[in-house]
Amino acid sequence: MPYATLSDFTAVGSIANLSAADITGFFLPFGQSRVDAALGRKYTVPLSSNIPLVVQLNVLYARHAFYAARTKSDDAKELGKLIEGIVSDVVSGNVPLIDSAGLTIQPSNASGTVWSNTMDHPPAFNMLPEEQQRVSRDLLQETRDELD
């Protein structure tokens, strides 16, 4: 479910030859997926739709997708730069996410780095012949310990 609604999208301005079905069926869901991808390394997604900045980003990504698809390259480039600036400010922590009640949304991954439970172990599959590939014993033991 997109963060923004049709009324959020049209509040920014109407676009000729763009139906409400196109907006709600493709462009807003596409914008939501882009917001999730951009903020997902720092915040747990999906986010709440009561965060005005997230709604704004959803609308901007949707409009950017429309302009890019309709080859309005100048408008798409301008929106792209605006979006990049907003996202980099949010991810860097310069601009906090604040919901409509005034509460700050805390990042779930403050460092913004990707983490995996296998990152400290050798890869399970490598270029060795199939019969020589083995999963790290330490990883297996840690996994068993977590399950117990």
pLDDT per residue as tens digits for the range 45-88: 899 889 999 999 999 999 999 988 887 778 889 999 999 999 99
User: Mean pLDDT lowest for which of 7-11, 32-36, 59-63, 130-134?
Assistant: 130-134
Please report, as a single letter, which amino acid is at residue 64: H
Greater model confidence, 4 or 16: 4
Q: Smallest Cα–Cα separation from 57: which of 89, 18, 93, 31?
A: 31
Is a pLDDT exceeding 70 seen at residue 118?
no
Count Cα neighbours of 31 within 13 Å in the Cβ-side half-sphere: 33
| Identity at 94, one-letter amino acid code | N
- The predicted model scores a pTM of 0.72
pLDDT confidence of residue 2: 92
Q: Letter for the amino acid at 115?
A: W
Enumerate residues 6+ apart whose C-beta is below 8 A from 76: 64, 67, 68
Q: Quote the percentage of the chain above a pLDDT of 70.
A: 85
How far is residue 24's CA from residue 138's CA, in Å, rounded to a whole number? 48
Distance CA 131, CA 129 (A): 6
The larger pLDDT score, comparing residue 132 to residue 96, is at 96
